[in-house]
Amino acid sequence: MNAQQSGQKPADVLKGNYVTAGAEFTRDTNYITDRVLDDPAAQWPVEPGRYRLVAARACPWANRTMIVRRLLGLEDVISIGMPGPTHDVRSWTFDLDEDGKDPVLGIERLQEAYFARFPDYPRGITVPALVDIPTGQVVTNDYAQMTLDFSSEWKKYHRAGAPDLYPEHLRAEMDPLIRFIFTEVNNGVYRCGFAGSQEAYAKAFDRLFTALDTLEARLDTRRFLMGEQITEVDVRLFTTLARFDAVYYSHFKCNRQKLADFPNLWAYARDLYQTPGFGDTIDFEQIKQHYYIVHTDINPTQIVPVGPDLSGWLEPHGRDERFGGSPFGEGTAPEAPLPHDTVDPAHTAAAWVERSTGELRTDFV
């Protein structure tokens, strides 16, 4: 996640200083744009076991890479390292791992991989990042391109039955929708939360909910954003929707209405959450800890809310009966996540069901 605003120093951002008084939030979108390509002559060629994906569960941009990696079955060829939900003034840290070090890269902070390649790296240390294991150097943090390359450049390593998340014949329609979702929704919630004036906030608020109303209408006529099965655009929208009621509604003041008050968006989000590869990557506790602890300019007390009640995520969505289709088309769902990839059961929607009924729901995965 890179929430750096124009004029801010990376250390300011890592300290939680995201708001510039009197200004609109402007995201720094300058990333390391190197790519891992299916070309043996490339600087960074596709090679199983060579690269490690560093992706924090708390971050929506990193969460995308986790979902796509799972859906395509790339777990055995691209390993994953997971920093904790918060970071210190230097960078994301591997505080969840034994001795506070990533077991493969041997580093305490993601910053070390950035500095291994760029000793004077001037920008924010962001996740997701793809790291070259032999050299310990960051390859790319360009999250927008990263998942597209997982679909195209790593195709020979996809699992049998993997979905085509970026089908060639739909790209002319998908690409503008991808841009719309990023500018208006993914980044739209941040424009609300980090607005530096009432005027900037009001403008961002109207823009966000205009976009959500547009998507609500689109999902009244189709099960998924592109039709009868999941694609890349569903992954990109889902990670924002998964955080909406838990964080953005209150913490970012996106409170015209909750996600649960949008009939189509809420049913669609539940449909995806209950689809293997989506909900089983969501750690609601880490999500709340990140936003409420790190953003000290918005939440100086760093108190993390106990709620909201998340049990609704497991309620029937009815979109299969209404529209038909299948998330994976003629393909298959991914296998259950590997132990290292498994979310703490206490941090899931199922835990809320268990609290009220005494029964742990596992059927949704």
CATH number at residue 106: 3.40.30.10
Residues 148 and 228 in one domain: no
What is the rounded average pLDDT of the residues 105-133? Answer: 96
Question: Based on the structure, what is the number of domains in the chain?
Answer: 2
Among the candidates 130, 157, 184, a domain finishes at 157
Q: Which token pair is 350?
A: 């199922």
Task: Classify residue 51 by burial, with Cβ atoms within 10 Å: 0-12, 13-18, 19+.
Answer: buried
Q: Is it the case that residue 9 has pLDDT exceeding 50?
A: no
What is the rounded average pLDDT of the residues 56-78? Answer: 98
Peptide bond just before 334 cis, omega within 30 deg:
no
Q: How confident is the model at residue 17 (pLDDT cuts 50, 70, 90)?
A: low
Active site residue 59: yes
Among the candidates 157, 178, 209, a domain finishes at 157
What is the rounded average pLDDT of the residues 288-317? Answer: 96
**Comparing C-alpha atoms, which of 295, 45, 315 is closest to residue 189?**
295
How high is the pLDDT of residue 363? 61
* Residues sharing a CB contact under 8 Å with residue 267, sequence separation 6 or more, in sequence order: 317, 318, 319
> What is the Cα–Cα distance from 95 to 107, expressed in whole angstroms?
11
Q: Which domain covers residue 120, as residue numbers?
A: 29-157
Q: Is it the case that residue 23 has pLDDT exceeding 80?
A: no
Q: How confident is the model at residue 362 (pLDDT cuts 50, 70, 90)?
A: low
Active site residue 292: no
Q: Which token pair is 44?
A: 């960074």
Residue 44, in any domain of the structure:
yes
What is the rounded average pLDDT of the residues 189-200? Answer: 97
Residues 315 and 176 in one domain: yes
CB 53 within 8 A of CB 78: yes
Residues 227 and 260 in one domain: yes
Among the candidates 131, 157, 183, a domain finishes at 157
How high is the pLDDT of residue 3? 35
Residues 125 and 183 in one domain: no
- Indicate which residue of 190, 273, 291, 292 is catalytic: 190
- Indicate which residue of 59, 114, 143, 254 is catalytic: 59
Residues 212 and 309 in one domain: yes
